[in-house]
C-alpha cells in the first residue's frame, strides 16, 4: 500500500475517497494526526498530514518517528512525501515540480533515528542514494502520464526552520550543491530507510529561495500561498496514475 505524507498546502486530498480514519499509538508518541485510509482511482492509499490536519505543527516539532513508525505498522511499503520547497537552482521557479535524488541535512535537535541504545542498538544504514529509486521512477512516469512536467533529480537541503533562510544562507547552500530548500525532508527520509520503507519525494517549488529571483528583497508569503494551492492541485493529478502503477 502507498502512503502519502502531505506537506504545507496539502492537508487533505480532494481525490481521496475516505473509508476510515485511525488513530495509531506508537512507542515514540503521537503521529501528526489520525491516518486517513481510502482509495484514489480505486486503489488503497493512506494519507497523513505532516503538519496536522489544521496545519498546527511546525517543521521542527513534527514527530517524524511516530509518523514513519505508524505508517510502517499499518503495512505500508511505499511512502510518497509531498514537500513545499524554495527554489535555489535557476530553473526551479515557483510552480516547478521536482523529484529530488539527493539530500543534505542541516537540521538539528530532531529525533532522527529508531536506533537509540534503548531501542535497537547501534546500526548504520546506507544512505548513499537517500530516495527509493523505484518510487522516484514511478513518480516521474506518473507525472508524464498526467501531462505534468516533473524534473528528474536535484539536491534537497533540509533546514531547521521554522524561519526562512537569509540570502547568505541560501548562497552557502548553493555552494554546498543544494538545488532546493525545505524544512521537513529530514529526518523523515532517513527514518523511512531505517525501517525499510521505499520513500520518495515530490518537491513543489512554492517560492524562489531568499535572495533569488523575485525573492531578492524578501519572500512574498501571499504569492507563496497562491502558488502552493495551484501546484498542489497538479500534484493530485499525478497521484492517480501513480497509485495505478506499481508505485502504489
Which 8-state DSSP code applies to residue 26? B
Options 183, 197, 198, 231; binder of ligand HPA; rule CB under 6 A:
183
Site string for ligand HPA, 188-227 (x = CB under 6 A): ------------------xx-x------------------
Residue facing ligand HPA at closest CB distance: 86
Q: How many residues bind ligand HPA (CB under 6 A)?
A: 12
Give min distance, CB of 175 to ligand HPA, in A: 16
Q: Which residue has 493530485 as its cell numbers?
A: 236
Phi and psi torsions of 226, nearest 5°:
-70, -45
Binding of residue 86 to ligand HPA (CB under 6 A) = yes
- In whole angstroms, how far apart are CA 232 and each of 96, 175, 207, 236, 238? 11, 29, 13, 6, 10
Here the contacts of 124-130 (C-beta below 8 Å, separation 24 or greater) are 125/190, 125/193, 125/194, 126/193, 127/190, 127/193, 129/101, 130/102, 130/103, 130/189, 130/190, 130/193
- By CB under 6 A, which span of 67-75, 79-87, 129-137, 147-155 interacts with ligand HPA? 79-87
Options 45, 84, 97, 190; binder of ligand HPA; rule CB under 6 A:
84
Binding of residue 32 to ligand HPA (CB under 6 A) = no
Binding stretches for ligand HPA (CB under 6 A): 84-86, 159, 164-165, 181-183, 206-207, 209
Amino acid at each position: 500500500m502507498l502512503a502519502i505524507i502531505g506537506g504545507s498546502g496539502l492537508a487533505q486530498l480532494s481525490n481521496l475517497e475516505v473509508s476510515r480514519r485511525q488513530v495509531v499509538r506508537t512507542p515514540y508518541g503521537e503521529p501528526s494526526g489520525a491516518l486517513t485510509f481510502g482509495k484514489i482511482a480505486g486503489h488503497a492509499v493512506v494519507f497523513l498530514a505532516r503538519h496536522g490536519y489544521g496545519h498546527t505543527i511546525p517543521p521542527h516539532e513534527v514527530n517524524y518517528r511516530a509518523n514513519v513508525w505508524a505508517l510502517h505498522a499499518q503495512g505500508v511499503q511505499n511512502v510518497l512525501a509531498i514537500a513545499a520547497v524554495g527554489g535555489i537552482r535557476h530553473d526551479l521557479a515557483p510552480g516547478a515540480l521536482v523529484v529530488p535524488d539527493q539530500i543534505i541535512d542541516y537540521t538539528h535537535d530532531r529525533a532522527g533515528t529508531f536506533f537509540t541504545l534503548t531501542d535497537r542498538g547501534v546500526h548504520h544504514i546506507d544512505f548513499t542514494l537517500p530516495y527509493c529509486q523505484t518510487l522516484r521512477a514511478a513518480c516521474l512516469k506518473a507525472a508524464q502520464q498526467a501531462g505534468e512536467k516533473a524534473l528528474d533529480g536535484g539536491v534537497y537541503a533540509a533546514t531547521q526552520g521554522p524561519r526562512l533562510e537569509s540570502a547568505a544562507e541560501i548562497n552557502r547552500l548553493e555552494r554546498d550543491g543544494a538545488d532546493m530548500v525545505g524544512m521537513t525532508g529530514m529526518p523523515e527520509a532517513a527514518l523511512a530507510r531505517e525501517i525499510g520503507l521505499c520513500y520518495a519525494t515530490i518537491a513543489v517549488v512554492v517560492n524562489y529561495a531568499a535572495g533569488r529571483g523575485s525573492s531578492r528583497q524578501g519572500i512574498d508569503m501571499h504569492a507563496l500561498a497562491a502558488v502552493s494551492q495551484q501546484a498542489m492541485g497538479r500534484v493530485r493529478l499525478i497521484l492517480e496514475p501513480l497509485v495505478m502503477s506499481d508505485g502504489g
